[in-house]
Amino acid sequence: MLFAATSRASAQASKANIRYNATTRVFRIDTARTSYIMGVNEADQVQNLYWGHRLPNSDEFATAKSMPGAASFDPPITTTPEEYTGWGGMLYVEPSLKVTFPDGNRDLVLKYVSYKIDGDQLSLLMKDISREVYVTLNYRADGEIGILRRSAEVENRTDGPITIEQVSAATWNLPRGTDYRLRYLTGRWAGEWTIQQQPIHPGKTILESRRGTTGAQNNPWFAIDHEGDNDSERGGVWFGALGWSGSWQISIEQDMLQQVRVNGGPNSFDFAYRVAKGGKFQTPEFYAGYSDEGIGGASRLLHRYEIDSILPGAPKPKLRPVLYNSWEATGFDVNEAGQMALAEKAASIGVERFVMDDGWFGQRKDDRAGLGDWYVNPQKFPNGLKPLIDKVHSLNMDFGLWVEPEMVNPDSDLYRKHPDWILNFPGRPHTEGRNQLVLNLARPDVRAYVFGFLDKLLTDNQIAFLKWDYNRNWSEPGWPAVPLDEQKDVYVDFTRNLYSILSELRAKHPSVEIESCSGGGSRVDLGIMRLTDEVWPSDNTDAYDRLLIQNGFTYAYSPGVMMAWVTDSPSWANQRALSLEYRFLSSMQGSLGIGANLNKWAPEDFATARKMIAQYKTIRETVQRGELYRLIAPEHGSEQSVTESVARDGHEAVVFAFLHSSNELYPYPRLHLRGLDPDTQYRINVLDGRLASDTPEHASGAYWMDRGIDVDLQGDFRAMTFRLERINGNQ
């Protein structure tokens, strides 16, 4: 009930309130839910004073006072929770910024200079104690959701270049405490998005990718709460996500005074970025917020922020269409007749977008050749793509195409012509992954080539959607064509060029949508999400495994961008056989796609699919844009998994319930819904499966939340879904 009240309150948009008290030198950023308070202390350091639940305006903060040191070993510069620290003096915790000057000096001590408030943005200017290095800290607050978007800009006004060796987008300081717990996400190919948790002890935990891109092994997201807060819907949670798709690093550090700080930005491993005299370096953005509705509330705030402020088209990103993709059915064996036949079948069940995957270009028969040669394969498509695209349009679907722009096979015309275009160290091996090499997108000629072929593809063909794949990580990350002191710029310039290609393509072809895929979920972060409409969480499409994968994914990212295909049974991943209904219900928790071999379907499969796709279309807005509650998370070997999505305007809730196996005659746990208005009547409506026979046709939100609902699920691998609809007039 608490939840319904909070959701309604949050529906009223509010503006952030940013104030500066010149007497106390205290800055306050207040949002509807949170307060973030900083002060300039006696040493002119910007020090965090509070971050958490919204405080009344009447609470005045005294002038900041730096922390006492701990003997001569840990002086105040190390113990004071600064908003952004240079590596200099006796600083032993993780610095926000470390630079080297041409004269060999590596000492940087940043002090507060001035501030600027511009609407919902606060900028703080800092400067080194003697050298002309300036850092502007930018804070933009979402007044309703309370998420802060932070970044830093380093400006070199000295008379020579400087080299940045470590740089954070932000340093976040938590209130002092000894019982913190960290949650983070780990994974690997076909097993992405595992939620982990561990107590925070003195010392440091590093989450990172050294792979050139985001990676599935860690995702740039964290959440911290107090150990023992085991209700997923209650208790304070500080959470954040980094918007950077290159190598990245987030460190979580508890210092000698039991203070926890979180630093995040490009990975400092093997890192250097040269900023010329007069130049600037803009960091990526690091987003963070606070929820007092537990980890469930933290993920709902992030989902809402992604929809309202991150995704293309925000605050009203387009709903995801139901798509078909034949990758699992045909592999590389695509051709005009085969794709047309599949398109007819896909259209007959209500698919809205037909996507042709890998295999349509160059001499691509398998994964050994063709990447880089982006011409239509004349044997497979003798008349180009037009006949297939026309056919897809005649079936009332739009057309999407797979590309993997940043890669090249050694067996390709592109590589034979431009062997120097790959990341490489001269005289060293060119290590292949999936028989391919990584093009150095930081090079202007490679950037021009990649933009050029994509632009031409989109100009020459009526393509509504690109599935942008990326199937290996970096090796030998050399850039021999530029001077030695610029070669490591590759880590930043590659990613910046990726972003600039995506945004230029979007500007020139505004109706085209893009999916970020990386052999599964290896490039999912808030940086790529600004420029892509959806992401592919995992190549593992086993509908049971997907419950766990999707559960982990939604800690950080919205179900509305989470592509989920219905594929064949038994699944290639585990040889597990699941009913078509179960597979549909698993995929309907996100953005529904079909990836099964429709040529093998029986007439009854088409009938089931037609019915379930039609049902999905009636609930997709709630699933894709609603508020997600994990009623039972499929973690720690749980036999059940239940999600509930509540529409943003509260008019309906959709519940998906899954059973692995029933045991020893135990009934399915009673489901206590969340996020409903206790005083409103809701009608219950089963879409697939059965409820207990004593379930009323309608009841109050209080009844569904407090008394709860019994579902009739028994056996192995069973699933059901139902919907609650608000009865207007409040019967």
| Residue of minimal Cβ distance to ligand DGJ | 358
The sign of the CA dihedral 204, 209, 211, 213 is negative
Nearest CB to ligand DGJ, comparing residues 74 and 539? 539
- Is 519 a binding residue for ligand DGJ by CB under 6 A? The answer is yes
- Among the candidate windows 156-164, 265-273, 512-520, 572-580, which touches ligand DGJ by CB under 6 A? 512-520
How far, CA to CA in Å, does 432 sit from each of 29, 122, 297, 429?
Answer: 49, 46, 43, 9
In terms of C-beta density within 10 A (0-12 exposed, 13-18 middle, 19 or more buried), how is residue 160 classed?
A: exposed
Q: Is the peptide bond before 284 cis (omega within 30 degrees of 0)?
A: no
Nearest-approach distance from CB 437 to ligand DGJ, in angstroms = 16
Closest CA to 189 of 423, 474, 523, 589: 523
Strand partners, 36: 29, 51
- Among the candidate windows 15-23, 213-221, 514-522, 600-608, which touches ligand DGJ by CB under 6 A? 514-522
357-386 residues near ligand DGJ, rule: CB under 6 A:
357-358
Nearest CB to ligand DGJ, comparing residues 367 and 420? 367
* Binding letters toward ligand DGJ, positions 333-362, x by CB under 6 A: ------------------------xx----
- Is 520 a binding residue for ligand DGJ by CB under 6 A? The answer is yes
- Is 83 a binding residue for ligand DGJ by CB under 6 A? The answer is no
Of 41, 96, 471, 615, the residue at the interface with ligand DGJ (CB under 6 A) is: 471
| Sole residue written with tokens 């844009």 | 625
Nearest CB to ligand DGJ, comparing residues 136 and 541? 541
Amino acid at 448: A
Closest CA to 613 of 353, 432, 337: 353
Give the gyration radius of the chain's Cα atoms. Answer: 27
Nearest-approach distance from CB 41 to ligand DGJ, in angstroms = 50
The sign of the CA dihedral 418, 424, 426, 427 is negative
Amino acid at 576: R
182/199 Cα distance (integer angstroms): 6
- Is 327 a binding residue for ligand DGJ by CB under 6 A? The answer is yes
DSSP-assigned letters across all residues of 205-234: EEEEE-SSS--SSB-SEEEEEETT---TTS
CB 682 within 8 A of CB 671: no
Nearest CB to ligand DGJ, comparing residues 313 and 331? 331
* Through-space distance between the first and last CA atoms of the chain, rounded to whole angstroms: 19
The residues carrying an active-site annotation are 469, 539
- Among the candidate windows 92-100, 492-500, 516-524, 545-553, which touches ligand DGJ by CB under 6 A? 516-524
| Sole residue written with tokens 């890192």 | 271
159-198 residues near ligand DGJ, rule: CB under 6 A:
none
239/220 Cα distance (integer angstroms): 11
Nearest-approach distance from CB 241 to ligand DGJ, in angstroms = 22
400-429 residues near ligand DGJ, rule: CB under 6 A:
402
- Is 469 a binding residue for ligand DGJ by CB under 6 A? The answer is yes
- Is 51 a binding residue for ligand DGJ by CB under 6 A? The answer is no
Nearest-approach distance from CB 398 to ligand DGJ, in angstroms = 18
- Among the candidate windows 425-433, 439-447, 517-525, 581-589, which touches ligand DGJ by CB under 6 A? 517-525
- Is 539 a binding residue for ligand DGJ by CB under 6 A? The answer is yes
Judged by the rule CB under 6 A, the positions of this chain that interact with ligand DGJ are 327, 357-358, 402, 469, 471, 517, 519-520, 536, 539
